Amino acid sequence: MKSRTFRKKSDRIKDFSIRRGNRFSFLGKEMEKTVEKILRKKIEEGVLHSFQYNAPNSPEDRERKDFTVRMMVNGEISVRHFGITISKLYHRKKELLHCNVPCILITFEMREERTWERIEELFKN
């Protein structure tokens, strides 16, 4: 009979949290690509003036400004910055840490129309 070696519980938890972090990082970047695709489509439709995707680890990204969007509102170009997240926990924390930059919580089931409505709400305020 083989003897089993057991790892410490703290090592297993550490490994789990690393894998979970990597998985959420990957999924978050995929969501950013989805939002970028939606914004490109809105530019082609003529709804948006322009947008800028701030690269990961850029100064704007560290301020949680994933996207900078420009839209014509009442004859003037209005600029809004916003971040996106897929984590409900991070969304709550982000509101406390970076309250001056809006953050949009995007779930995987969310349709493109609903995502666009959330972005459009930024310009109504």
Decide if 1 is inside a domain. Answer: no
Return the pLDDT at 68.
92
Q: Taking a C-beta distance cutoff of 8 angstroms, is the pair 37, 44 a contact? A: no
Return the pLDDT at 63.
83
Q: Choose among 16, 23, 90: nearest CA to 104.
A: 90
Return the pLDDT at 70.
94
The yes-or-no verdict on residue 5 having pLDDT over 80 is: no
Decide if 17 is inside a domain. Answer: yes
Decide if 4 is inside a domain. Answer: no
Decide if 24 is inside a domain. Answer: yes
The yes-or-no verdict on residue 91 having pLDDT over 90 is: no
Q: Choose among 53, 55, 87, 74: nearest CA to 123.
A: 74
Decide if 108 is inside a domain. Answer: yes
Query: pTM, whole model, 2 decimals?
Result: 0.78
Least confident residue range of 45-49, 91-95, 119-123:
91-95
User: 64 lies in which domain range?
Assistant: 9-124
Q: Mean pLDDT, to the nearest integer, of 67-79?
A: 90
Decide if 70 is inside a domain. Answer: yes
The yes-or-no verdict on residue 50 having pLDDT over 90 is: yes
Beta bridge partners of 55: none
Least confident residue range of 31-45, 47-61, 69-83, 96-110:
96-110
Decide if 84 is inside a domain. Answer: yes
Element (H, E) at 85: strand 76-85
Domain count, the chain: 1
Decide if 43 is inside a domain. Answer: yes
The yes-or-no verdict on residue 89 having pLDDT over 80 is: no
